[in-house]
Amino acid sequence: MTECCRRRRVPQVSMPEAVQIAYELGPKWVHRFGRTAGLLTACVLVFGQFGLCTVYLVFVAKNFKEIGDYYGGKYNERYYVLGACLLLLPLFLIRRLKYLVPLNLVSNFLLYGGFAFIMYYLFSGLPDPRERQLTTCPSEWLVFFGIASFSLTAVGSMLVVEANMAQPQSYLGMFGVLNVSVFFILLSNIFFGIMGYWRFGEIVEASITLNIPQNEILSQLIKVFIATGIFLSYPLNGFVVITVIFSDYSEATEKGRYHTLQEYAVRLSFLLLTGLVAVGVPNLAALTELEGAFSLSNLNLLCPALIDIFLNYDVGYGRLRWKLVRDLLLIVVGLVFGIVGCTMAMKQLVDDFRTTLQHM
């Protein structure tokens, strides 16, 4: 995307715009597909953020249900999804990114506070590692990759943050904001993945917070901290969709007569739709796998590889065409991973939806 800015001599471009520029700079036969490819990329970006926000709603609902079941009646978790949507309504109507910064600061403090407290349960009662099965059948590997890749699917949020930074040049580089943040994300996931399975084994849930006791104050505090942290990060991820629609594909401007009304309508519709999907299929693991497989394959593998292929078409692919080989390999991996991962997740979600209809 930085190279696209340099080629077109503009300060910044969005990901859909970068795809369109790359197609226009590639072989002649792909020029005609530039605008369509950019539009499809925008759709993928919107759908990816939609899935991400849906997972957040299910996660919040499941954790608060654990607390609600202990102190009150055992209500269906779908009521908690609806409650989360109502509470999110005023937060999601915030139209300026700078006003979301305090929410995300509080979100990060709550998340890492919850992570610190949960160590008590992870390190107490650890069994002998030899009691755990250290390998599993290859058919389950894709499920793992889909869920693990969920942590790297926030491409839309990354782009929005970069576009609104006072010093966007500090975003890239070896020790830039992007690499440092992704490093901590990977470190956190590796740690909780290993410790969660070591501590709870085959009964580990889609979220470790669902494995800790319901009847202890500390465990309830952990659930509140982490669920509230995820809850407060919803507006930023939903903000990406609004940015795509109203910055790249809307003729309306800030001075437009109905611009504000249209934006509020889109925000309300987005929140309502994510809530409806979360109510219909509240399967946290399957939703996480679907979102991870879909977004990672498209936004992290296919789009960057295609952009790189077309941008290097005129200047060359390096010695032995290693850049072309690398990009083609990324495309193959992205296609296989996306098709198989999404198919497996969709099968689980369809089965869940059928079960939901049977109990209505």
Q: What does residue 133 show for φ and ψ, rounded to 5 degrees?
A: -75, 115
Residues 355, 303 contacting (CB under 8 angstroms): no
pLDDT in tens, the chain (360 residues): 888 888 888 877 888 888 999 999 999 999 999 999 999 988 888 888 888 899 899 999 999 998 888 888 788 888 999 999 999 999 999 888 888 888 888 998 999 899 899 999 989 888 888 888 888 887 777 777 777 777 666 666 676 666 666 677 777 778 887 788 888 888 888 888 889 999 988 888 878 888 888 888 999 999 999 999 999 999 988 888 888 887 765 554 455 567 788 889 999 999 999 999 888 877 777 888 888 888 888 888 899 999 999 999 988 888 889 999 999 999 998 898 888 888 888 887 887 777 767 766
How many distinct structural domains can be found in the chain? Answer: 1
Residue 168 lies in domain: 1-359
- Judge if pTM exceeds 0.85: no
Q: What is the CATH number of the domain that holds 242?
A: 1.20.1740
Left, alpha or beta for 156 (phi > 0: left; psi -120 to 50: alpha)?
Answer: alpha
The residue behind tokens 């790189």 is 308
Give φ, ψ of 247 to 5 degrees.
-100, -35
**Nearest-5° Cα angle at 18, 17 to 23:** 100
Buried/exposed code over 309-331 (b: 16+ C-beta within 10 A; e: otherwise): bbbbbeeebeeeeebbeebeebb
